[in-house]
Structure 1
Amino acid sequence: MAFEAMTPAPQGSDTLVTDTTTASFRQDVLAESTKRPVLVDFWAPWCGPCKQLTPVIEKAVKAAAGKVKLVKMNIDEHPQIPGQLGIQSIPAVIAFQNGQPVDGFMGALPESQVTAFIERLVGPLGPGATAELLDEAAALLAGGDAEGAAQIYSEVMAQEPDNVAAIAALAKLHVDAADYEGARHILAMAPAGKENDPALAGARAALDLAEKAGAVGDLAELERRVQADPADHQARFDLAVGLGAAGERAAATDHLIAIIKQDRAWNDDGARKQLIQYFEAWGPMDPHTVAGRRKLSALLFR
């Protein structure tokens, strides 16, 4: 079953810049600020300086690539919260962390000062921010938090729709959740001209392998068939596909190597092709890819 957090925002929408109300302030700001700093921009439609500040602060928030969120509150429609906070003139921006206001400014500051304000909260902005987010998502995934990782990948895609690393990683999470239609939807977002990017190729391979695995049947029965007849290449091949889908990468590799060793030409070199697809799906630095390539090379070039 797919995780809701694994569905990225539609391209063109901005999950990092939202509006809030008096009723939703606790959830939108106080609760959210326990995850990352939240900037609350208090404004009104008649306020000229507010209109000057809007594109500046939104640009700076986007440059932070998910490290900070911007929440906007119209004080004409929702005067209670700004009144409680003592907001007397606008535009006014208050930063919240862990449910508490920690910093702020008033007036339409220039871009450099707005950027400096955000950097005091989250550190330097710039191209490195995306790389840090991807590293954070990878760490969450390694720790078993697929939803947390998916949320970060979605945020990266919202800000950089052509980020193939985020697209590929999110597609793989859909594959892992057996949401193959969702994976195809994510992969369709890949920018033109980057279809052969290794990360995207790996995600497509993972999707293809997962769909194949659904048709191989009972693994225990396949094991029995292989034990009864080691030359039953189709049973061994199907077993390798099923084991690969179950995460048994070493065993899947060994079964395919066994087929290649016995009959390289079987099924139009199908075992070797399947093994290469595994390497593509697992990634070039995966230890099973490295070991498998070594075994394959020793067999082909002996």
Structure 2
Amino acid sequence: MADSPWVVNVSAENFHQIVVDGSRERPVVIDFWAPWCGPCRRLAPMLERLAVEKDGGFLLAKVNTDENQELAQSFQVEGIPAVFAIRDGKIADQFTGVLPEEQLREFIDSLGPAAPAADAEPSPLDRALELEGRDPSAAAESYRAMLAATPDDPAARVGLARVLLATPGREQEAAPLLTGLEFGDFAPEAQRLHTLVTLRDVPHADADLTAAQRVVGAEGKLALAKVLAARGDYPAALDALLAAADDDRQLGRTTVRELMLKIFEVIGPQSEQAGDYRRRLQALLY
């Protein structure tokens, strides 16, 4: 892959930020590829060379379909290489296969220039996203204002739910915001947040943690893992789940595995941490 800030690998974990949000600043070209695909190896150097040449005119987002099958399915990719151009969060153009370089240049040029960064007025969503990191209360108000104008705005519903889930004691307020978002650009993040709501449903105050730490045996370790996951201490929760599976292999194949999958969904199914614990559980059980 070209050593350029305009060529990046994308997974389900960072897709929304890099592709959907990023496409509001400049066109994003998604290259669905696989290591075994010969045509992919012919197309990739041309795309990467154009990304370097255009120097920010567009961002090339490379998606390995072997590692990100759900993303490929969400775009209904049936053959690779498959290329999608995204502008303002929507598909602007697409093709499958390998184009001659001249036609590939025409494809890229048709997307137009990147949005001017200096003078562009940030959208309400951009402002709310920026506020999330430094002023969650203000971010929540921005999202509520967006919902007042457009009650079904999925970006505002997901954003407000994310802020509420980051605020202690507000978890249950987030749940209604996430209903009915099973499809569309915001479905993966909505599902992740819904799973987070489910994990947080377990009582997890300090007293609950102390009580769970006193229980012995596989069931006790499973109960401790649930409390730790509800508190957001995912490494400790995953360690407790491995210990429970070591004590009771049948429990490991059922309830332990189910809870691990929920945690993986929150931290990123393709993340290095999820892969490590997935391998360790498989080695323990099989």
TM-score (norm 2): 0.48
Larger Rg: 1
**Does 1 or 2 have the higher relative contact order (CA < 8 Å, sep 6+)?**
1
